[in-house]
Structures are given as C-alpha cells and as structure tokens.
Amino acid sequence: MGTKQSGRRQYLYISIACLMVIIASCSPGTFQPATPDLVDCNHLDLVKGFINRGDFEGAMKASQFVLSRSPKSPPGDEALFTMGLIYTHYANPKKDYKKALGFFQRVEREFPHSPLVEEARIWERAAGF
C-alpha cells in the first residue's frame, strides 16, 4: 500500500512541476524576443491568410514589412515573390501584371540563388511578360 500512495504523489509532483514550467515560460519577465526569421515567417503565414480572405492590401503591407526586415536575405525573396503573386491573383481588383513582373524580376536580380528564381521565371513566361 505504501508504494501506491507514493506513486500517486509522484504524479502529483510531476504535474505541479510541469505546470510551473509552463507558467514560467509564459510569464512576461522571461519573454525572449523572437528571432527576425521567426517573426518574418509568421508574417508570411499571415500574408497567406490575408490572401485567402481576399485582403490583398493587408497581404501587401505584411509582405512589405517582411521585405523591410530582410531586404537582402531570406525571407525577403519569398516576400518579393508573394508580392508578385498578389498582383497576379485573379480575385485582386487591383491586379497589375506590370507590377507583378517587376517583383518577379527583382527576385531574380536581388536573390539570384533563391529557389524561387525559377518559379519567378516561369510566371514571367506563362503570363507572356
């Protein structure tokens, strides 16, 4: 009988310890600022949400924010590419293929080693730019 009581007590202590760790990690005093890449990746997820809701202006602003934080490094390439996609989106009332072309060309010029360069070229050729 003695071992069963201590076993239950161990579960209680483990549960309390886990709860304390969770509370400590969420408290404002221990907040660690996110790395720029993490913040930018979250903003790119936000951009996709804006696009899915049809908020193209919000998507553009969020993409511009990411680009301003990473003008010469990833995820700036993805932000530029996404801005091009925003201007080619069928549901965008401010659709502008010339502006889209400019963003796709910037991906090629400013991020020549990006995996998105080939996709940008495909978009240019497919759209007849």
- Sorted by where each begins, the domain ranges of the chain are 1-32, 36-126
Most confident of 8-12, 78-82, 121-125: 78-82
Peptide bond connecting 71 to the previous residue in cis, omega within 30 degrees of 0: no
Give pTM, 2 decimals: 0.67
The backbone torsions φ and ψ at residue 70, rounded to the nearest 5 degrees and listed phi first, read -135, 65
Fold of 36-126: 1.25.40
Across 76-85, average pLDDT: 94
Tokens linked to 58? 């919000």
Average pLDDT value for residue range 4-8: 57
Question: Is the confidence at residue 38, as pLDDT, over 50?
Answer: no
7-16, 37-46, 93-102, 107-116: lowest mean pLDDT where?
7-16
